[in-house]
C-alpha cells in the first residue's frame, strides 16, 4: 500500500503541474473563454498548494482542505460549462478527483497503535548515530525530560516547518529543563546541514536503516515519494511522531498523528512538560 502511495503522490504532483502547462497552452490557442480556463483553475489550485508547501512550509493544514477541493471542483464545472472535451478530462484527473484521492487516501495513515510508545511505559533502548556518524544509544540521551521527534527528512516541507516551530520555542523548552532530539534515517550529512540552519542546541540523530523506527512501531516501509531515492534517501521513512519522556525515560506523551499534514503544536509540548514537573 505504501508503495502505491509513494508512486501516486509523485505522479499526481507531476500531473497537476503538466495540466497547468497544457491549460496555459490551450488558453493561448483557444482564448480565455475556452474550457481550458476551467482546467487551469482545477489543476492550478492543487499545484499551487504543493508549491506553497515547499516555498512557505507549514507544519499543519486542515484535514480535508475543503476550500481547495471546492475551488478545484468549480474549475471542473467551468471546464464542462465552456465546452468540456479534453480540457474537462484534464481538469477532472488533475483537479478534484486526483486531489480528493490525495486528501482522503494518501494523507492518512489510519489508526495507529501506541505500542512501545504508550504513555506510562518506559522507552526501550534503541540505537542511533549522531550527526557525525558515531554510535549513540537512546539511553545516553536520557537524564532530563526530552521531546523526541521522528521526521522524514530534509525533503519533507511539513517536517521542516515543524522543526522550525520547535526551534523557535527551544528557550521555553530548555527553561523547563528539557531537551529536543530530532530523529531521521536520512544521511548524516543531511542532518548536519539541517542542524546548521537553527540557532538552537537540539540533538540531530540518525536512525540508520530505521532500526529505532521499526523497534518503536513508527516505520512506513516504502513511504518515500517515488523518485526521491535519487537524492540519497531511503525508501523506508518514519511516520511523523512526537513523544516526550521524563529524565528516567518514562513516556509522558505520544502524538501518533493519523494524517501527515497534521502535527502537534509546540504549546502542547510545554503543557506536557509542565504537567510532568508538577
Q: What is the pLDDT of residue 40?
A: 97
Q: What is the pLDDT of residue 223?
A: 94
Residue whose C-alpha cell is 549522531: 130
What would the grid cell of residue 111 be? Answer: 489508526
**pTM (predicted TM-score):** 0.92
The answer to whether the beta carbons of residues 54 and 228 sit under 8 Å apart is no
What would the grid cell of residue 5 be? Answer: 502511495
Q: What are the structural domains of the chain? A: 2-106 (no CATH), 115-277 (3.40.30.10)
Which string of DSSP letters, residue by residue, matches 80-133?
Answer: HHTT-THHHHHHHHHTHHHHHHIIIIITB------GGG-TTSBPPP-EEEETTS
Q: What is the pLDDT of residue 278?
A: 56
Residue whose C-alpha cell is 478545484: 72
Q: What is the pLDDT of residue 110?
A: 83
Per-residue pLDDT of the chain (278 residues; tens, 9 = 90+): 789 999 999 999 999 999 999 999 999 998 888 999 999 999 999 999 999 999 998 999 999 999 999 999 999 999 999 999 999 999 999 999 999 999 999 999 888 888 899 999 999 999 999 888 899 999 999 999 999 999 999 999 999 999 999 999 999 999 999 999 999 999 989 998 888 888 888 999 999 999 999 999 999 999 999 999 998 899 999 999 999 999 999 999 999 999 999 999 999 999 999 997 65
Calpha distance 208→135 (Å, rounded): 10
Q: What is the pLDDT of residue 259?
A: 95
Q: What is the pLDDT of residue 255?
A: 95
Amino acid at each position: 500500500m505504501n508503495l502505491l502511495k509513494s508512486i501516486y503522490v509523485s505522479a499526481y504532483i507531476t500531473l497537476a503541474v503538466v495540466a497547468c502547462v497544457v491549460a496555459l497552452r490551450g488558453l493561448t490557442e483557444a482564448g480565455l473563454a475556452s474550457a481550458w480556463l476551467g482546467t487551469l483553475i482545477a489543476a492550478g489550485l492543487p499545484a499551487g498548494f504543493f508549491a506553497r508547501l515547499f516555498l512557505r512550509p507549514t507544519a499543519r493544514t486542515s484535514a480535508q482542505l475543503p476550500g481547495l477541493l471546492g475551488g478545484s471542483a468549480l474549475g471542473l464545472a467551468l471546464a464542462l460549462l465552456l465546452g468540456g472535451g479534453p480540457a474537462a478530462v484534464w481538469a477532472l484527473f488533475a483537479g478534484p478527483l486526483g486531489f480528493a484521492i490525495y486528501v482522503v487516501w494518501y494523507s492518512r495513515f489510519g489508526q495507529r497503535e501506541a505500542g512501545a510508545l504508550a504513555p506510562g511505559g518506559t522507552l526501550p533502548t534503541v540505537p542511533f548515530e549522531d550527526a557525525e556518524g558515531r554510535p549513540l544509544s537512546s539511553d545516553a540521551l536520557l537524564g532530563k525530560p526530552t521531546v523526541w521527534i521522528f521526521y522524514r527528512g530534509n525533503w519533507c516541507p511539513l517536517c521542516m516547518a515543524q522543526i522550525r516551530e520547535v526551534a523557535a520555542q527551544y528557550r521555553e523548552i530548555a527553561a523547563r529543563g528539557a531537551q529536543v532530539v530530532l530523529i531521521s534515517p536520512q544521511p548524516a550529512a543531511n542532518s548536519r546541514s539541517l542542524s546548521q540552519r537553527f540557532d538552537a542546541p537540539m540533538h540531530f540523530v540518525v536512525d540508520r536503516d530505521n532500526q529505532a523506527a521499526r523497534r518503536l512501531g513508527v516505520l512506513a516501509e516504502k513511504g518515500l515519494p517515488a523518485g526521491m531515492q535519487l537524492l540519497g534517501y531511503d525508501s523506508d521513512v518514519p511516520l511523523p511522531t512526537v513523544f516526550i519522556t521524563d529524565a528516567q525515560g518514562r513516556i509522558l506523551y505520544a502524538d501518533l498523528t493519523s494524517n501527515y499534514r497534521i502535527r502537534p503544536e509546540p504549546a502542547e509540548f510545554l503543557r506536557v512538560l509542565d504537567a510532568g514537573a508538577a
